[in-house]
Amino acid sequence: MKKGNILKIVISLVIMILLAYLAIFGIKVGDTTIVKGIRDIKTGLDISGGVSIVYQAESEDGKEITPADLEKSKAVIQNRLEAKNIYDYIIRLDTNTNQINVEIPADTSDTSVDPLAAVEGLDQTAVVQFRDSDGNVLLEGDDIESAQYSDDAVDSTGIGTPHVILTFSEEGTTKFASATEELVGQQMPIYLDEECIASPMVNSKIDSSTAIITVGDGTYAEKKATAEEYAMLIDSGSLPFNLNVVNKEYIGPYVGQQALQVSIKAGAIALALVCIVMIVKYRLPGIVSTIALIIYTSLLLLIIANTGTTMTLSGIAGLILSIGMAVDANVIIYERLKEELAKKLAYKKAFDKSFKNAMTTIIDGNITTIIVALVLYLLGSGMVKGFGIVLAIGVILSLFTAVVVTKFILKQFMPLAGKNTRLFGLKKEVE
């Protein structure tokens, strides 16, 4: 082996150790967490318990609240929870009392975090209106298709600032153009639940299908939090009635921390057994797959921890399943490599050919699993959706480790195949 190959192997090992360390311990400077580790992963209702909130639906004009109105409010609350990266939730409707019960995960043992902070904004009506100076409504919620947070630059300074980008419907675009034409030289106040959140000056007629809401005073973090909340509330839609909190209480876990510890232990044992089997069967490539699997698992845990994804027992099942997918890709590659080496091909040609022939099968298998995960995410709710998210992230990441990480590391070991193919799992030396 050349010194360059050895150096690349050493670098790969250093990266593996660094990622494993980050996944376990994270990085914390003083009271500020720079990189979250496995201990910072949010756990779901089934593991840590959470908060139960009961809302009472009340109509301001005395209009009857129908089951359809309650179903709409359920969809709005669901959108708002998922905008906060909360997928492990339970929403129950009581059509007899017009009450909505929402249960969300919360670590009540962490006194540094308000467990009720996650439900802030759920009960806001979120009625958006563009008005003129006399208070006449020019555009409202139905004219807005979507609202997205952005911190790109909005002027010639090139300095990014937190803001909300509104996208109008076709009818909304027409209304916006007409309104701006009439209000040239005047302000167009924008209201959210009767609170003026911006009063932009109209300089000319605007035919664009988008508008920007900038946030006022405060630090960058404060303006970002405000803009994100506006985007979440507007994009999730408005509630058809007011919601008043009638009860808040903490609820215990459905399964408990013991189940989490058992699941983690089972996952660690499974990972260790998989690595042992791979090393015994494929020898040197098995060691490569062990390195790749540790890198893969570390990256997956880091993504889950730092994106705020809630981990439930079903999510852990998705994680373990995705590890199986990662191993499956390695098995396909190594079997192809053994076949090519058995044909007495030069190791460079055998390496290239094995990866080329294996990629089609690997990509097809991963794409079908990703499709299933997307269906679970799009059509499922609560824990089912959480399972789909973890599975999709895991499968995409496993495809990356197979195509990039495994290929890179295995390539450094390939010169050894020219001297001893037994190191690559062949029973008989190729002469």
Which band of pLDDT confidence, cut at 50, 70 and 90, is reported for residue 13? very high
Average pLDDT, the chain: 84
pLDDT given at position 108: 61
What tens digit of pLDDT does each residue of 14-52 get? 999 999 999 999 998 877 889 999 888 888 777 777 888
Amino acid at 114: D
CATH superfamily assigned to domain 3-40+256-424: Multidrug efflux transporter AcrB transmembrane domain (1.20.1640.10)
Question: Is residue 430 very low, low, confident or very high in pLDDT (cuts 50, 70, 90)?
Answer: very low
Residues in the chain: 431
* Domain range summary for the chain, segments of one domain joined by +: 3-40+256-424, 45-251
* Cα→Cα distances 262→76, 305, 357, 431, Å: 36, 20, 39, 49
> pLDDT of 244-284, one tens digit each?
888 888 877 766 567 677 777 877 888 888 889 999 988 88
Q: Give the residue from 276, 273, 270, 364 showing the smallest Cα distance to 320.
A: 270
How far is the C-alpha of 52 from the C-alpha of 40, rounded, in Å?
22
Residue-wise pLDDT for 100-149, tens only, equals 999 888 766 665 666 666 677 778 888 888 999 888 999 988 898 888 99
The average pLDDT across 341-367 equals: 86
For the beta sheet containing 99-105, the strands, ordered from the edge strand earlier in sequence to the opposite edge, are 90-94, 99-105, 50-58, 242-251
431 pLDDT higher than 50: no
CB of 394 closer than 8 Å to CB of 300 = yes
Task: Report the greatest alpha carbon distance in the chain.
Answer: 91
Task: Identify whether the C-beta of residue 259 lies closer than 8 Å to the C-beta of residue 317.
Answer: no
If you average pLDDT over residues 165-190, what whole number do you get?
Answer: 91
Provide the pLDDT for residue 213: 85
Determine how β-strand 32-35 pairs with β-strand 242-251.
unpaired
The mean per-residue pLDDT over the stretch 219-245 comes to: 85
- Check residues 59 and 26 and name the one with the higher pLDDT: 26
pLDDT of residue 291: 93
115-119 long-range contacts (CB < 8 A, ≥24 apart) are 115/50, 115/51, 115/250, 116/51, 116/53, 116/248, 118/51, 118/84, 118/86, 119/51, 119/53
Residue 133, pLDDT score: 85
Beta-bridged to residue 248, according to DSSP, are 53
* Statement: residue 164 has pLDDT above 80: yes
One-letter amino acid for residue 332 of the chain = I
- The class (CATH top level) of 45-251 is alpha beta
Judge contact between 251 and 104, C-beta under 8 A: no
Give a three-class secondary structure readout of 285-324.
Answer: HHHHHHHHHHHHHHHHHHHHHHCCCCECHHHHHHHHHHHH
In the predicted structure, residue 377 carries a pLDDT above the cut 70: yes
Give me the amino acid identity at 56.
Q
Look up residue 416 and give its two tokens.
């050894």
Q: What is the mean predicted confidence (pLDDT) over 152-181?
A: 87
- Write out pLDDT tens, residues 188-202: 998 888 888 888 888
Helices (H), 26-169: 45-48, 67-83
Contacts of 368 (CB under 8 A, 6+ apart): none
For the stretch 393-424, pLDDT in tens is 888 898 888 888 999 999 998 888 767 778 88
